[in-house]
Chain A
Amino acid sequence: MIDLALDIASWISFALGGFFLIVGAIGMIRLPDFWSRLHGAGVIDTAGAELILLGMMFQAGLTQVTIKLILIGLFVFLTSPTGTHAVANAAFVAGIRPLGEIKNDDTKEPKGTKS
């Protein structure tokens, strides 16, 4: 009974994690801009990775393997936002800016000088 419940929990975690992984990867290919591709990488690094690790934890049970999985999850949880922030900061310093301009169609303000 408990095994069946753990199997079901693992299936749900793997299905959700695989969904988020593939959605993030498709986003990294389809999105038009570097700054929007950061969102796809963020989905892969947080939701996808943590859910796949959670599914493996359900299968491992209360053993040493689970502790290693928790450690991996903690490291990924701490380092991947830091890495993404470092990439974004380096790209900003290098002069890459987001696509498009802010539109002020409703207020009809005169366009200022471009920065």
Chain B
Amino acid sequence: MLQLTNVSFKPQGKLLLNQVSISVKAGEVYGLLGANGAGKTTLLKAISGDIKASGSITLYGKALAQWNRRELAKHLAVLPQSSQLTFPFSAREVVALGLTPLSLSKAQAASLIDEKMHATDCYSFADRAYPSLSGGERQRVQLARVLLQLSQARHSPLLLLDEPTSAQDLGQQHNLLRLTQTLVKKEGFGVVAILHDLNQVLRYCDRCCLLDQGRVSAVDSPDKLLSDERIQQHWQYQPQRVVLGNGQTALI
């Protein structure tokens, strides 16, 4: 669904992305890995259109710049890392912002809002003020908003996650990632996620791309990609491996 070809970004003479070519399929969680400064966030911003990179980025064969804004918003959404709101919207109103690119009747909109809030487990605090919610609750509200935004897509939508678990405790992190995985497996979403925790990468990603100084260093499934040598090379850390009961490996 998403195809990047020779994407480069060079603001003020500093090469942040160097000829990046990757492709993401519907129905997979695609992880972006790399040390700090490797270009993960820049790459995600290039995909979301926050920065203008050279090269070609296409979604369903059509260059992002060619898409109609609202059509694109129905197919491509970003879950922000954290969102500050100066004015106290209620959680439900924040979710309703997902209606912005859509044209729905009031009744349809109301039932979809409820549905998405149930799906992300935030219906119980629908009427509380957003600024009074905890980091994890806010993240779920934002996820409901994003799901609403993508609810009228004609093709499988693409969801971008920028360190989605950074503001959350352990349980919340796994809940969010499990929910994302369900969207991918059941509804055919494509997901591109920046994750720092390599164990989460091993557990939830189908494929990942390892970035190094703005360049693609490797693309593979996480268990093949995350060899001891690579981890040592990119993160200067020598991990130890534990084989779990279900045959999966965990890094310590």
A and B, one complex? no
Binding site for A on B (CB under 8 A): none
